[in-house]
Amino acid sequence: MLKAVVFDGNVDCKEVPEPSRPGETVLSVQRAGICGTDLAIASGDYRVKTPLILGHELYGTVKKAPADRKDLLGKRAATEITVACGECYYCRAGMKSHCANGAALGIHRDGGFAEFVSTPADNIHLVPDAITDEEAVFIEPLAACVQLVKVGQIASGSTCAVVGPGRMGLLVLQLLKQTSPRLLVTLGRPGRKLEMARKMGVPAFEVGETDVALKMTDGAGFDNVVETTGTPGGLEQALRLVKPRGTLHLKSTHGLPVQLDVTKVVVDEIRVQGSRCGPFEEAIGLLAEGKVEVREMITDRFPLEKCGEAFGRARSSTSIKTIFEI
Amino acid sequence: MLKAVVFDGNVDCKEVPEPSRPGETVLSVQRAGICGTDLAIASGDYRVKTPLILGHELYGTVKKAPADRKDLLGKRAATEITVACGECYYCRAGMKSHCANGAALGIHRDGGFAEFVSTPADNIHLVPDAITDEEAVFIEPLAACVQLVKVGQIASGSTCAVVGPGRMGLLVLQLLKQTSPRLLVTLGRPGRKLEMARKMGVPAFEVGETDVALKMTDGAGFDNVVETTGTPGGLEQALRLVKPRGTLHLKSTHGLPVQLDVTKVVVDEIRVQGSRCGPFEEAIGLLAEGKVEVREMITDRFPLEKCGEAFGRARSSTSIKTIFEI
């Protein structure tokens, strides 16, 4: 038996059987981060089959490995979240994260807010010593942010705004700084997150100051606006900032329907771009080389047993990143 | 005085003063088409300042011209709809249709459901003899469809679905055929429009047959889905058809908020792309060379005096294109 954070209408720490999936590896999970999707599942907005062990931002060491991958044993590792079939149209097209038969850890199959998690050896990425245990929790979300910049084709010299400088937005801001933007600002609720953005040297406005932010573009609007609020209200705020022929990058997966002003999207010829999982090796490189700073983002640490308290903190505007220490 | 279709809460044919805008040309309007935006304005969903003469799909002859453009007098002509300032950020960036001080005929300033309309000489495009008066009404909407294919970067060899094969959708279908798609289908309500799509050789499904259409892509979904229903419900139907990393092209400007499943857009990494006005010369070329067939799309013809009846017909599922003969 092992301890795990199980969602079954409520979020509770329970004793469950050890994972047993033939041919896969088992990670002994050391650290795991709570993200917006976890919160959306816990609130019931993002529908999943229950009972489910939550968690997909994971770091640990390899405890078990299949016969042909014994080299992984004992290694420090992070894991991609989509368990893909390797045979469907999407897998053959190199779009493993969209596998037609795929299951994501912590969403469609048991995840890693647990002492142990099962994951295919192909999903394992080794974590170099230059990355601490805590930093390694950010590999998965940072990879997703790398994907946002790639899929969204954010070019250097553009004007960029990030709406919602939280656990995801602060990573996006760091990546956008590296694209040499002509202008980069963020908008959010007053408090700790906005302060951290300012510490990064990014002009930070309160949400009500949209017009002030727009003035910095001479009223033209931003080429790229990233919506990382994790709330349904974020889309409308973000859309106000996008200039005609600009791009609105979506990153919130709160599971709720959102009202979109389709007519504005058409008249202003706006692109609304979604993006999801990204390249782990690039994220590992960025963290290992110190090009993205995450340590100060960790505001709260809990053991699995205090999962209720941990989820409460993760929802708070004074928390940036809440992690489990396992 | 002249006759014009004026919107002032209701749509009525009235006697109004002749247009008088120094430096502009005046078109004697011969034909004008009713489009979805006109209907949305008339229903009150698309908000405009009133009173307003509606109409922006126009064909006529040049009756008055400024001193330096007397060459235009008497010529057969269509007009672009955005009257741009030529000086703002967008105009200087070559994005005239997004002019910060711009006004669109029939939306922000008086349009062409009238005997005469004023429009800048720079917005005039001459109509060659190969295009009939009736066909010329389609220059503006066809240009918009050309823009959709361009802005949406619809590549040859892709799989495409058009949701809503109406006055706009049937034009889009013809353009998409020319991109050599691997698969091209349409979905709509049963009736005349779907029949016309079938006559074009396009597999046409009723909206309830989404799963049948999806089967033609082996369940993968379509690379490009064009939403031209002109109704708020169209977006959800269209989104169901888009494959991961595919594009949903928006063309409805009904003025109403629409519920969007943002989480699906993110998880499936979908691009939602709006597009608006397009290149008139390309549309003129396509019509002149007979590469797009529009004559059979005109189902209803009315004089301005019967504007109430005309708008009623334009809303009917048995009408494709309703035009005014002036």
**Cα A319 from Cα A298, distance rounded (Å):** 8
Length of chain A equals: 326
**Cα B193 from Cα B201, distance rounded (Å):** 13
Are A218 and B89 within 8 A, CB to CB?
yes
Taking only the tens place, the pLDDT of each residue in A253-302 is 888 889 989 999 999 999 999 999 999 999 999 999 999 999 999 999 99
Chain B, window 263-282: residues with a beta carbon less than 8 angstroms from a chain A beta carbon:
263-276
B86 SS3 class:
coil
* Mean pLDDT in residue range A164-182: 96
Residues of A in contact with B270 (CB under 8 A): 273-274
Residue B223 pLDDT class (50, 70, 90 cuts): very high
Taking only the tens place, the pLDDT of each residue in A40-83 is 999 999 999 999 999 999 999 999 999 999 999 999 999 999 99
Q: How many CB atoms lie within 10 A of CB A296?
A: 12
Q: What is the pLDDT of residue B253?
A: 84
Residue B245 pLDDT class (50, 70, 90 cuts): very high
Taking only the tens place, the pLDDT of each residue in B97-146 is 999 999 999 999 999 999 999 999 999 999 999 999 999 999 999 999 99
Q: What is the pLDDT of residue B257?
A: 85
Q: How far is A93 from chain B (nearest CA, A)?
A: 11
Are A263 and B46 within 8 A, CB to CB?
yes
Q: How far is CA B55 from CA B35, B44, B77, B123, in A?
A: 8, 15, 15, 15
Pick the residue from chain A with its C-alpha nearest to B257.
A261
Q: What is the pLDDT of residue B254?
A: 84
What is the number of CB-based contacts under 8 A between chain A and chain B? 129
Residue A207 pLDDT class (50, 70, 90 cuts): confident
Q: What is the pLDDT of residue A256?
A: 86
Residues of B in contact with A102 (CB under 8 A): none
Are A259 and B259 within 8 A, CB to CB?
yes
Q: Assess whether pLDDT exceeds 90 at residue A232.
A: no
Q: How far is B260 from chain A (nearest CA, A)?
A: 5
Q: How many CB atoms lie within 10 A of CB B319?
A: 20
Residues of B in contact with A219 (CB under 8 A): 100
Are B266 and A258 within 8 A, CB to CB?
no
Residue type, A93: A
Q: What is the pLDDT of residue A29?
A: 98
**Ordered alpha helix ranges (H), A55-123:** 89-92
- What percentage of residues in chain B have a pLDDT greater than 70? 100
Q: What is the mean pLDDT of chain A?
A: 95
Residues of B in contact with A276 (CB under 8 A): 266-269
Site of tokens 């010529």: B75
Residues of A in contact with B150 (CB under 8 A): none
A299 SS3 class:
strand
B219 interfacial to chain A (CB closer than 8 Å): yes
Q: Assess whether pLDDT exceeds 90 at residue A230.
A: no
Q: What is the pLDDT of residue A205?
A: 97
Residue A101 pLDDT class (50, 70, 90 cuts): very high
Predicted complex ipTM exceeds 0.90: yes
Residues of B in contact with A267 (CB under 8 A): 253, 274, 276
> Residue A304, CB half-sphere, CA atoms under 13 Å: how many?
23
* Mean pLDDT in residue range B10-19: 96
